[in-house]
Amino acid sequence: MTSEIDNFLSVKQVAAYLQLNEKKVYALVGEGRIPATKVTGKWMFPRELIDRWMMDSAHGGLLADRLVIAGSDDPLLYRLVGAFARDMHSLAQISYTPTGTRLGLDLLQANRVDVSAL
């Protein structure tokens, strides 16, 4: 089991993890291009967000054209999603699954969907 400390990386650790030098990590932080937070004057990097950032970068935006919605079975939301999908044509893939509010929230928390309808 990973401890809370293992969930966060220092500049040195994230540099080793990404196989970059520390100056490049600081440059990415300065440009706001990498997820980081400053704690007591030191930059810390949530490992989960770094992994997600790498996946998003690796796909070159390929997954950025998808919207996955789950949650409440709402007829108005269903029509809204359908209209939005028609407007987007082939520019994006939109998926709506009426799972119910609780499961929709669970899927959102697990990063399996982009939006949860209540």
Dump pLDDT digits (tens) for 38-83.
999 999 999 988 988 887 776 555 556 778 889 888 888 889 888 8
Looking at residue 45, which CATH number applies to its domain?
A: 1.10.1660
User: What pLDDT digit, counting tens, does each position of 86-98 carry?
Assistant: 887 777 788 888 9
Instruction: Quote the CA–CA distance of 58 and 43 in Å, as a whole number.
Output: 23
Is the domain of 66 the same as that of 52? no
DSSP code string of 13-70 = HHHHHHT--HHHHHHHHHTT-S--EEETTEEEEEHHHHHHHHHHHHTTTGGGGEEEEE
Q: Which domain holds residue 99?
A: 62-117
The answer to which of 10-24, 75-89, 97-111 has the lowest mean pLDDT is: 75-89
Looking at residue 103, which CATH number applies to its domain?
A: 3.40.190.10
Q: Angle at CA 17, nearest 5°, toward 24 and 57?
A: 70
